[in-house]
């Protein structure tokens, strides 16, 4: 084993944060077609609510378990954006590690997302946390699973939007 | 002195941030009964407003100077939560070190807290900063004092809620 | 070249974050007269909107290209504050590095700013990102340029306020 080997296998918290940050900027700044590239294939991407999680209810607002489904979401959002232009801004707080192994890391990250409409309105769009299982493939961090747990249950306009 | 000794005595900024993050997740995710464990005993936990601080007024919205008082607050909040279910989400910004010694660190950390009600309402609950004096006991970071300085003076519903 | 030399020339991400954090605390906590000291002289400080940036329109809401102009802004704000007291709180998310050289770093940082009025009102004042070109002068990080890109176009009350 050479000196470079560990960094290809082990995930550090700093790398995990960097992956998370790049993910958030891709959602906010685009191109959204890069979004699926943050995940393994197959993967598990899920949006749910805190009440559902606490009651162990399996219901999800969005669920994708492979990259093709993620690309379908991208296409849906890009079509929806034609009709109602607006911007999103994710703000992440510090992460907390839930479990850690050499080649994988499970952590949670509180976030809020602010939405700005072109006409000047701005509102607090959502708040919650990510629960992420990150792995390393060929030296790159990837989400093996990402669960978006929303604090609230106001979900009507969320359906098409990756978070 | 062996190689491990310094890490048992010195507080690094990274450790301080980790302690702060764990504190915030405990407030948001529970169990709230873990909240007092983040402090020394005796300790100083205080919620005040920015106007009070700038005028050097000693008035506090909440003041606890030992762990028994902190546990009293936990009990009060758990009773209050029976009547009005809602969730909080703290988002922390980067910290700024105000003073630093080998075995203690004083820093300030801007934060906001978003409240989500079960019926779907979500609002910006509070904004302000923590001013924290952290020490190390038996290798663990602890708050010797934590002052929560709120930017606003809208305090009526805050009384029972640790921040 | 001695061991200290690189740290006088190279900017690390950690130093860049620390500079950014100190900048935000100076805006929120004052003294505002320290604000220009975060920049080189000459410099480029610009506030614009996301729509303008995406359309490559050169229009700025605020533009200062030297420290004297920054000090003029400080004076304007201090006069304006006499009439309408309020507080600001910046919350920064993680940064993403856009380009990096030994002695300079270009990165973007998402942020929101919350405004609290003395009468108790609190609102989400603005959201957007910083695009910063940082350099090192005599061992200190400085902004060679800072572009504040606002997600929204509600700009009427922003004119006098550094962000």
Q: Please report the ipTM that was assigned to this predicted complex.
A: 0.90
Residue C155 lies inside a defined structural domain of this protein: no
Tell how strand A140-150 and strand A122-137 pair up. Answer: antiparallel
* pTM, full prediction: 0.92
Residues of A with CB under 8 A from a CB of C: 17-18, 20-22, 24-25, 28-29, 87, 89-92, 112, 114, 116-118, 120-124
Would you call B114 and A96 a contact, using CB atoms and an 8 Å cutoff?
no
Is pLDDT above 60 for A126? Answer: yes
Q: What whole-number distance in Å separates Cα of residue A155 and Cα of residue B43?
A: 42
Residue A59 lies inside a defined structural domain of this protein: yes
**Closest by Cβ to B89, choosing from A96, A110, A153:** A110
Which of the pair, A132 or A6, is modelled with greater confidence?
A132
Residue closest to A30 by CA, chosen among A85, A80, A88: A88
Q: What is the DSSP letter of C61?
A: S
pLDDT at A4: 45
Residue B163 lies inside a defined structural domain of this protein: no
Q: What whole-number distance in Å separates Cα of residue A2 and Cα of residue A21?
A: 30
Residue C132 lies inside a defined structural domain of this protein: yes
pLDDT at A2: 43
Would you call C24 and B153 a contact, using CB atoms and an 8 Å cutoff?
no
Query: Model confidence over B48-60: pLDDT tens digits?
Result: 999 888 888 878 8
Q: What whole-number distance in Å separates Cα of residue C116 and Cα of residue B127?
A: 8
Residue closest to B30 by CA, chosen among B89, B72, B115: B89
H/E element, C22 = helix C13-29
Contacts of A18 in chain C (CB under 8 A): 94
Q: What whole-number distance in Å separates Cα of residue A123 and Cα of residue C102?
A: 40
Domain count for chain A, please give it.
Answer: 1
Do the beta carbons of residue A72 and residue A44 sit within 8 Å? no
Residue B85 Cα distances to A151, B75, B88, C25, C131, angstroms? 12, 15, 10, 34, 40
Query: Cα angle at C11 between C162 and C15, to 5 degrees?
Result: 60
Which of the pair, A138 or A94, is modelled with greater confidence?
A94
Q: How many CB contacts within 8 angstroms connect chain A with chain C?
A: 62
**Closest by Cβ to A92, choosing from C94, C108, C151:** C94
Would you call A92 and C93 a contact, using CB atoms and an 8 Å cutoff?
yes
Phi, psi of A118 (to 5 degrees): -65, -25
Residue B162 lies inside a defined structural domain of this protein: no
Query: Model confidence over B149-158: pLDDT tens digits?
Result: 999 876 655 5
How many Å lie between the alpha carbon of C89 and the closest alpha carbon of chain A?
A: 14
> Mean pLDDT of all residues in chain A?
88
SS (HEC) of chain B: CCCCHHHHHCCCHHHHHHHHHHHHHHHHHCCHHHHHHHEEEEEEEEEEEHHHHHCCCCCCCEEECCHHHHHHHHHHHHHHHHHCCEEEEEEEEEEEEEEEECCEEEEEEEEEEEEEECCCCEEEEEEEEEEEEEEEECCEEEEEEEEEEECCCCCHHHCCCCC
**Closest by Cβ to A110, choosing from B18, B28, B124:** B28
Query: Model confidence over B85-140: pLDDT tens digits?
Result: 789 999 999 999 999 988 899 999 999 999 998 777 899 999 999 999 999 988 89
How many Å lie between the alpha carbon of B59 and the closest alpha carbon of chain A?
A: 30
Tokens (6 digits) for C126: 């603005």
Give me the CATH number covering residue A36.
Answer: 3.10.450.50
Neighbouring chains to C with at least 3 Cβ pairs closer than 8 Å? A, B
Q: What whole-number distance in Å separates Cα of residue A91 and Cα of residue A111?
A: 6
**Closest by Cβ to B108, choosing from C20, C25, C118:** C25
Give helix then strand counts, H and E, for chain C. 4, 6
Q: What whole-number distance in Å separates Cα of residue C141 and Cα of residue C103?
A: 10
Q: CB neighbours of C133 closer than 8 A, spacing ≥ 6?
A: C104, C105, C106, C143, C144, C145, C146
pLDDT at B138: 87
Q: What whole-number distance in Å separates Cα of residue A42 and Cα of residue A69?
A: 10
Residue B161 lies inside a defined structural domain of this protein: no
Q: What whole-number distance in Å separates Cα of residue B151 and Cα of residue A151?
A: 24
Domain that holds residue A13: 5-150
Q: What whole-number distance in Å separates Cα of residue B26 and Cα of residue B36?
A: 10
Q: What whole-number distance in Å separates Cα of residue A153 and Cα of residue C45?
A: 41
Residue closest to C36 by CA, chosen among C62, C71, C61, C78: C71
Query: Model confidence over B1-50: pLDDT tens digits?
Result: 344 444 667 899 999 999 999 999 999 999 999 999 999 999 999 999 99
Confidence band for A1, pLDDT divided at 50, 70 and 90: very low
Which of the pair, B66 or C154, is modelled with greater confidence?
B66
- Adjacency order of strands within the sheet including C62-64: C62-64, C39-49, C140-150, C122-137, C104-117, C86-101
DSSP strands (E only) in C8-118:
39-49, 62-64, 86-101, 104-117
pLDDT at B1: 39
Q: Is A135 helix (H, G, I), strand (E, B) or coil?
A: strand
Low-confidence ranges of chain C (pLDDT < 50): 1-6
Residue closest to A35 by CA, chosen among A6, A62, A8, A7: A62
Residue closest to B112 by CA, chosen among C4, A92, C139, C19: A92
Is pLDDT above 70 for A157? Answer: no
Would you call B112 and C114 a contact, using CB atoms and an 8 Å cutoff?
yes
Query: Model confidence over A7-46: pLDDT tens digits?
Result: 667 899 999 999 999 999 999 999 999 999 999 999 999 9
Is pLDDT above 50 for A57? Answer: yes
> Mean pLDDT of all residues in chain B?
88
With CA atoms as reference, the chain B residue closest to A95 would be B21
Contacts of A95 in chain B (CB under 8 A): 21
Residue A161 lies inside a defined structural domain of this protein: no
Residue A52 lies inside a defined structural domain of this protein: yes
Q: How many residues does chain C have?
A: 163
């Amino acid at each position: 084993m050479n000196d470079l080997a560990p960094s290809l296998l082990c995930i550090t918290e700093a790398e995990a944060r960097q992956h998370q940050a790049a993910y958030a900027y891709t959602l906010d700044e685009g191109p959204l077609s890069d979004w699926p590239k943050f995940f393994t294939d197959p993967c598990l991407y899920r949006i749910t609510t805190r009440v559902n999680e606490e009651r162990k209810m399996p219901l999800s607002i969005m669920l994708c378990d492979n990259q093709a489904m993620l690309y379908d979401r991208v296409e849906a959002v890009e079509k929806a954006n034609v009709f109602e232009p607006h911007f999103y801004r994710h703000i992440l707080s510090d992460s907390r590690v839930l479990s850690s192994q050499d080649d994988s890391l499970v952590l949670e990250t509180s976030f809020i997302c602010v939405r700005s409409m072109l006409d000047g309105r701005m509102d607090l769009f959502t708040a919650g946390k990510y629960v992420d299982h990150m792995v390393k493939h060929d030296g790159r961090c990837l989400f093996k699973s990402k669960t978006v747990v929303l604090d609230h249950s106001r979900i009507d306009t969320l359906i098409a939007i990756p978070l």
